[in-house]
């Protein structure tokens, strides 16, 4: 009789595929990398760079760019692609808004990205905490633009409006994958709820840039990707990021395939033809990758678009 191993029940083993040579992280300035690390440690902060094992951490931290993860490092959901731990989160830290603000100031950030785990245990999904962090950060860093990368606030009614009230410069919520794969990749989320969230933010405050990200390599097909682009465009999303899914471990959603650099270029060309204000598409593109430079591009593109419209030029 075969003996079943309890630790393998409901834990599929999905072998990791070897990374191609075009997926390599960069270390630009070791001294700046360790300075960033020391400041993050000084304030006992969490970053999605560390918790989600981002492939760009060495490059970004070498530039003093860190994406702050608020409300702890334990998520109430278990998405198939994510390396952040799942479980019962700890209570919110009332001093976190001040800690984030101080770290932003010490890092001299021109653009700060603030994200969070899903907190379905909280009545408002953590929207009020987002508000406090954004307000405190802006108070002490008035020249720093702020990007809020939020969860979907599913079944939290209008709690997301509290984040909008804080007036982040960018409201970012990642769509992640195509509708067909949601039950396996994002089982606790709903595709059209995420699209609706982005659409509603733009309705409330048209001055806030909206942004969303898509991963490829999970088993989607090209027609499904194009449908997502159309859905996000119909929601008036300004900025779209497209990057390669990298399987964190053998227990995560299996990687279907690696897209080649030229395929990302093709997707970028298609997305630009749909008139997104900005598109970033490459194997290592992540939602907050080069976020500061991209924010400047967003601003310039909006100015150019406004000038073209005021001059009576046709905007396709």
Fold assignment, 25-308: TIM Barrel (3.20.20)
Whether the per-residue pLDDT at 206 is higher than 90: the answer is: yes
How do the domains of the chain map onto residue ranges? 25-308
Whether the per-residue pLDDT at 154 is higher than 50: the answer is: yes
In tens, the pLDDT along 164-179 reads 999 999 999 999 999 9
In tens, the pLDDT along 47-81 reads 877 776 777 777 787 777 888 999 999 999 999 99
Residue 35: per-residue pLDDT: 85
Task: Look up the pTM and report it.
Answer: 0.91
- Mean pLDDT computed over every residue of the chain: 90
Ranges 21-25, 51-55, 204-208, 290-294: which has the least confidence: 51-55
Give percent of the chain above pLDDT 90.
Answer: 68
**H, E, C per residue of the chain:** CCCCCHHHCCCCCCCCCCCCCCCCCCCCCHHHHHHHHHHHHHCCCEEHHHHCCCCCHHHHHCCCCCEEEECCCEECCCCCCCCCEECCCCCCCCCHHHHHHHHHHHHCCCEEEEEECCCCCCCCCCHHHHHHHHHHHHHHCCCCEEEEECCCCCCCCCCHHHHHHCCCCEEECCCECCHHHHHHHCCCCCHHHHHHHHHHHHHHCCCCEEEEEEEECCCCCHHHHHHHHHHHHHCCCCEEEEEECCCCCCCCCCCCCCCCHHHHHHHHHHHHHCCCCEEEECCCCCCCCCHHHHHHHHHHHHHHHHHHHHCCCCCC
Whether the per-residue pLDDT at 305 is higher than 80: the answer is: yes
Residue 2: per-residue pLDDT: 38
């Amino acid at each position: 009789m075969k003996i079943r191993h309890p630790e393998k029940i409901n834990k599929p083993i999905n072998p990791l595929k070897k990374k191609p040579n075009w997926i390599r992280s960069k270390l630009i300035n070791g001294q700046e990398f360790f300075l960033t690390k020391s400041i993050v440690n000084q304030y006992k902060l969490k970053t999605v760079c560390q918790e989600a094992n981002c492939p760009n951490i060495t490059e970004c931290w070498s530039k003093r760019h860190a994406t702050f993860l608020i409300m702890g490092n334990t998520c109430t959901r278990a998405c198939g692609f994510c390396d952040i731990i799942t479980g019962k989160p700890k209570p919110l830290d009332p001093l976190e808004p001040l800690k984030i603000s101080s770290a932003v100031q010490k890092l001299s950030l021109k653009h700060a990205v603030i994200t969070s785990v899903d907190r379905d245990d909280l009545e408002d999904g953590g929207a009020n905490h987002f508000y406090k962090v954004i307000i405190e950060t802006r108070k002490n860093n008035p020249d720093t633009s702020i990007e809020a990368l939020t969860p979907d606030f599913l079944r939290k009614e209008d709690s997301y409006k509290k984040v909008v009230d804080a007036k982040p410069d960018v409201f970012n919520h990642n769509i992640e994958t195509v509708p067909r794969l949601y039950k396996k990749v994002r089982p606790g989320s709903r595709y059209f709820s995420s699209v609706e969230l982005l659409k509603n933010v733009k309705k409330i405050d048209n001055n806030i840039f909206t942004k969303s990200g898509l991963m490829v390599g999970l088993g989607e097909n090209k027609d499904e990707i194009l449908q997502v682009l159309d859905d996000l465009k119909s929601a008036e999303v300004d900025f779209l990021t497209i990057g390669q899914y990298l399987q964190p471990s053998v227990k995560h959603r299996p990687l279907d395939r690696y897209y080649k650099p030229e395929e990302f270029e093709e997707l970028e060309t298609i997305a630009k033809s749909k008139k997104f204000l900005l598109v970033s598409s490459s194997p290592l593109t992540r939602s907050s990758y080069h976020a500061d430079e991209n924010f400047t591009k967003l601003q310039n593109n909006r100015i150019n678009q406004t000038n073209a419209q005021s001059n009576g030029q046709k905007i396709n």
